[in-house]
């Protein structure tokens, strides 16, 4: 059971195979797929298979194996997408003020062009 987790969020549906995704990587604990509305030439999402709302939730409840797998998957996907050099941005929006839209933990891997400043001031 997972308090506050919405089983009907879009990434839960992707994980259950109810809606398709363009898969980039999968292992026991993680799935990576292309963002449906890319904000950069490379825009891939990496998510845990477990029911976690955010990084905060993940840090509190996930096993060491899940946490390790997610970080390793991010490294793997960055290499697969060829963005390690010249570089990329790793981003996770959390909650309302963080701009999170989908309430299942995800990391955005953004790259393929110079991304400019981190935030609009």
- Residues binding ligand 5GP (CB under 6 A): 10, 21, 33-37, 93, 99-102
Determine the number of helices (DSSP H) and then strands (DSSP E) in the chain. 4, 5
Q: How many CB atoms lie within 10 A of CB 49?
A: 17
57 vs 4: CA distance, rounded Å? 10
- Shortest Å, Cβ 7 to ligand 5GP: 15
Q: How many CB atoms lie within 10 A of CB 91?
A: 15
- CB nearer to ligand 5GP: pick between 56 and 63: 56
85 vs 90: CA distance, rounded Å? 14
- Shortest Å, Cβ 108 to ligand 5GP: 6
77 by Cβ neighbours in 10 Å (0-12 / 13-18 / 19+) ranks as buried
Please compute Rg for the chain using Cα positions: 14
- Shortest Å, Cβ 44 to ligand 5GP: 9
- CB nearer to ligand 5GP: pick between 22 and 65: 22
- CB nearer to ligand 5GP: pick between 4 and 99: 99
106 catalytically annotated: yes
- Shortest Å, Cβ 38 to ligand 5GP: 8
Which residue out of 43, 104, 106, 108 is catalytically annotated?
106
- CB nearer to ligand 5GP: pick between 75 and 98: 98
Active site residues: 106
């Amino acid at each position: 059971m997972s308090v506050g987790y919405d089983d009907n969020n879009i990434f839960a549906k992707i994980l259950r195979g109810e809606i398709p995704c363009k898969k980039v990587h999968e292992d026991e604990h993680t799935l990576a797929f292309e963002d449906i509305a890319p904000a950069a030439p490379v825009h891939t999402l990496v998510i845990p298979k477990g029911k976690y709302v955010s990084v905060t939730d993940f840090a509190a409840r996930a096993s060491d194996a899940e946490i390790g797998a997610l970080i390793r998957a991010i490294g793997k996907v960055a290499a697969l997408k060829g963005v390690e050099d010249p570089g990329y941005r790793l981003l996770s929006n959390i909650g309302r003020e963080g701009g999170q839209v989908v309430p299942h933990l995800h990391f955005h891997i953004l790259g393929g062009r110079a991304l400019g400043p981190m935030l609009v001031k």
